[in-house]
Amino acid sequence: MLSMSQGMPRQSTAIACGQSGATPRTLDVGCGRQKVPGTLGLDSVRLPGVDVVADLVRAGLPFPDGTFGVLHANHLLEHMVDLPAVLAEFHRVCRPGASIHVLVPYFTCIGAFGDPTHVRFFTYRTLEHFTDDPNDPERHTWFSITRFAIRRRIGFGKLFRLLGIEWGANRFPNIYENFFAFLWPARTLSVELIVLADRA
């Protein structure tokens, strides 16, 4: 998790820009102690496995535009107050066509509310508001020019997977969320955002 602590040291961005002899193309933001293998790990706290220390909230990501082809943000966005600004910064440091892999607690998961540092909650449709679909009157996009294509999946525990509830929820997500989400609560929402050009 990226904290909001002030005065954290920042490592040189040379490691991300190829000056260190390596040219990683995959960034793991808020990696903590569980960095995705083979990625460049960034966090606001200097922990084992963290390659770059930076404060995303106060200073943004210390990389040039279009640096990465893949970005991971696992259990990070639920801690971010200004979600449009964070996604805009992800968009900036990624190349067109890059994949941003997001994992967050689903809004019916007890863990979504049990962590006092969580400031927002996610449904199947939350990140749709950063995509374009003129045929959807419920999609509000006025607050950001950042645009992505989107793929997502609601994740369940083993029992609900075996019972076919996960399949049904992902096949009919609107029906699941409106009628069954609290009866058969999911655990996670996995989202892949594909970077598109910003809307002018």
In this predicted model, which residue has the larger pLDDT, 22 or 106? 106
Residue 186: CA count within 13 A, CB half-sphere? 26
User: Taking the CB of residue 83, how many other CB atoms lie within 10 A of it?
Assistant: 19
Number of H helices, E strands in the chain: 7, 7
Residue 135 has a pLDDT of: 65
Q: Which CATH number fits domain 65-195: 2.60.40.1580, 3.30.70.360, 3.30.420.10, 3.40.50.150?
A: 3.40.50.150
Rg (CA), the chain: 17
Residue 141 has a pLDDT of: 73
* Mean pLDDT (whole number) for 42-52: 94
Residue 199 has a pLDDT of: 63
Residue 37: CA count within 13 A, CB half-sphere? 0
- The residue ranges of every structural domain in the chain are 65-195
Across the chain, what does the average pLDDT equal?
Answer: 86
Both structure tokens of 110: 């007890």
Q: How far apart are CA 36 and CA 73, in angstroms?
A: 10
Q: Model confidence over 92-150: pLDDT tens digits?
A: 999 999 999 999 999 999 999 999 999 999 999 999 989 876 566 677 777 788 899 99
